[in-house]
Amino acid sequence: MTNKSNNGFNSWQKSFEKETKKNFSDAKSETDEGIDIKPVYTKDDLENFSFVENNSLPGQWPYTRGPKASMYTNRPWTIRQYAGFSTAEESNEFYKKNLESGQKGLSVAFDLPTHRGYDSDDDLVMGDVGKAGVAIDTVEDMKILFNNIPLDQMSVSMTMNGAVLPVLASFIVAGEEQGVDRSLLSGTIQNDILKEFMVRNTYIYPPEPSMKIVADIIEFTSKEMPKFNSISISGYHMQEAGADNVLELAYTLADGMEYVRAAMSKGLDVDDFAPRLSFFFAIGTDFFMEIAKLRAARTLWAKIMKDFGAKNERSLILRTHCQTSGVSLTEKDPYNNIIRTSYEALSAILGGTQSLHTNSFDEAIALPTDESARIARNTQLILQNETGVTKTVDPLAGSYFVENLTEELSKKAWDIITEIEELGGMTKAVKAGIPKLKIEESATKKQAKVDSGSRVVVGVNKYKNPKEPSVDVRVIDNNRVRDDQIKKIQAIKKSRDTRAVEKALANLTNAAKDETNLLTPCIEAIKLRATVGEVSKALEQVYGRHFAKSLSVSGVYGKHFEGDKDFMKVEKKVIDFENANGRRPRVLVVKIGQDGHDRGAKIVATSFADMGFDVDMGPLFQSPKDVAKDAIENDVHAIGVSTLAAGHKTLVPELMKALSNIDPKSKIIVFVGGIIPEQDYEFLYKNNVSAIFGPGSNIIECAEKVIDLISDNLSKE
């Protein structure tokens, strides 16, 4: 630093200290990622970088400034809205409306039974059919989904991991029966199973055979589907589960490294498949951090692929789709979500995404309506056409702050990637449960900051709206959808060649016993009208089903509330309860059905435990009967049900019925938390639910309500 610049900085520092009445060193603020943010940055902060090259250009090594030289000045990012609900017919109509209104690509959301490899007529999924996505049981559903949508002209992204083989096979066959050769199909299949074991939990088989399936798809598509992206390596669900940006960045790239190794184990050269790899990141409300994350991701991936021996420039370039954050959306004062989503979208664009989904403002309440989906789509159209952000490439390049943040994120993420590599790679780390626990710890810290008020969420813990607006929500008639799907399945099973299907499924089972690529026999079974569930079970005969062990962190939530009077008040009530009853209040926290999003359940479990409750965490994918049986056998006082997939109106009444059937005198209270439209509250209360806690509820207040309910309930005996 020159004397002149030193003098200028010192002069600014004195002015800053005078204005803020604090020392410059005390003015730093630390992010969730552990990065100290200074109140001012200078060119001296751009020195001695390890990863970022300050003189790089867009479309050139190490691609920090973007994967293409022209970026949006030539063509704007693709508007790719993620949608799917109910039946294939209804989703098809929704897609066509969006395409007519300016959307450029499709992104398909499947319902939970499809994700988990169950047909709609399976008793295990009665409350989940068509709820959080579209139900696909056979190739006929897939054909309806894309009716009058030419698959040789439309890029299609599919979020599918567990039942990835039958779903991708159905897409291929639907295209062929539409007259489109598989070599002309374009789009992406997520096919990212490692993050399922970490956070999202829509897996079917154990990690090792699941990784074989990933490699089989990469191999097949690299040879037969040159326009199709064989995998979308997703950090999105990690951030939604509570990961900070460093964890999301590091674990996503570490997953990518594991998939590259899996593909190379099939004998493929890295340049045979790497150009078709793609990524998927979440974009939260920390505006500059998210921009820097995308820049850091491209920088690190270029280095990683070079280390793998990639020679094709396209192999070095990280291409990504982004989606605005779902977890940042609030049930309280929901129109604020439009603003949150707009700034998140701008952040993704300034970071250089290739395609983008913007969430609808009502998604913390229910599935989006046509109107809210239109607002979400128009957010992108306004950014493309009215703001001027497409006029120049990487406009924040050279910003002292953004460049420094890019370097800091790169360094911290690289340290974590190195740790994962030393463990033997991501598959081994996932089996050991390390990423899962790290993400849960991060999620609990974030929740504690909101509940303590140290992190402001407008309309939730500060600046509350005294008059909450009424919002119309989309309602899915689960029973009607399931009945329709069962009729379709029955009709197909009557019309198909049963012996040919059984033979094809047997061939698939045999293929799973050796090193045969599984997609080819899967396609043959799907052509013959085998169902998604039948194909999944044919593989399950060899691989079995995976059941995860429930691990949880402890003490993380409580340490944010040392000396807090509200926290201590709940602790005292728990102690008083124990003194009066000879044991602590015991709560069973559960997910019911096929919804694997367990962030909320885990946070409730660990925070309640930190306040002194005796907490049991139920395993994922239980039926209402299973939960009732566990609750009664373990003599709990309360059951806490976490729901995010709109199955509460079916599954919770079934739970209440099961409790009554097993023990008509049961005094167990039930409280429900998660995404529940207010219009459903009365229904749940009529079904004897004792309390309902929507998104944004303060956990300390929830815990006090629960201990009071348990105490009142026992006093009535």
Residues 599 and 241 sit within 8 Å (Cβ to Cβ): yes
- Taking Cα atoms as reference points, which of 333, 375, 275 lies closest to residue 460? 333
Active site residue 259: no
Residues 397 and 65 sit within 8 Å (Cβ to Cβ): yes
Active site residue 648: no
Q: CB atoms < 10 A from the CB of 260, how many?
A: 23
Per annotation, catalytic residue among 68, 212, 237, 436: 237
Per annotation, catalytic residue among 82, 343, 400, 543: 82
| H or E segment to which residue 322 belongs | strand 320-324
Active site residue 357: no
Residues 217 and 230 sit within 8 Å (Cβ to Cβ): yes
Q: What does the alpha-carbon distance between residue 350 and residue 596 come to, in Å, rounded to a whole number? A: 32
| H or E segment to which residue 78 belongs | strand 78-83
Active site residue 237: yes
Buried b (16+ CB within 10 A) or exposed e, 372-401: bbbbbbebbeebbeeeeebeebbebbebee
Token digits for 515?
A: 């090193």
Per annotation, catalytic residue among 72, 236, 251, 259: 236
DSSP one-letter code for 198: I
Q: What does the alpha-carbon distance between residue 163 and residue 204 come to, in Å, rounded to a whole number? A: 7
- Taking Cα atoms as reference points, which of 343, 381, 360 lies closest to residue 104? 381
Q: What is the DSSP string of 638-671?
A: EEEEEE-SS-HHHHHHHHHHHHHHH-TT---EEE
Token digits for 532?
A: 């998604």
Residue with tokens 């820049």: 295
Q: How far does Cα 21 stand from its chain's mean position?
A: 43
- Taking Cα atoms as reference points, which of 613, 106, 165, 501 lies closest to residue 321? 106
Active site residue 595: yes
Q: What does the alpha-carbon distance between residue 462 and residue 174 come to, in Å, rounded to a whole number? A: 51
- Residue 146 sits at φ, ψ, to 5 deg, of -110, 25
Token digits for 138?
A: 């056979």
Q: What does the alpha-carbon distance between residue 624 and residue 125 come to, in Å, rounded to a whole number? A: 11
Per annotation, catalytic residue among 141, 286, 333, 595: 595
Active site residue 591: yes
The 3-state secondary structure of 111-179 reads CHHHHCCCCCCCHHHCCCCCCCCECCCCHHHHHHHCCCCCCCCCCEEECCCCCHHHHHHHHHHHHHHCC
- Taking Cα atoms as reference points, which of 60, 31, 45 lies closest to residue 299? 60
Residues 162 and 125 sit within 8 Å (Cβ to Cβ): no
Rounded to the nearest 10 degrees, the angle between the axes of helix 164-177 and helix 532-543 is 140
Residues 389 and 73 sit within 8 Å (Cβ to Cβ): no
**Where would I find the H helices in 265-286?**
270-273
Residues acting as catalytic residues: 82, 236-237, 591, 595, 597
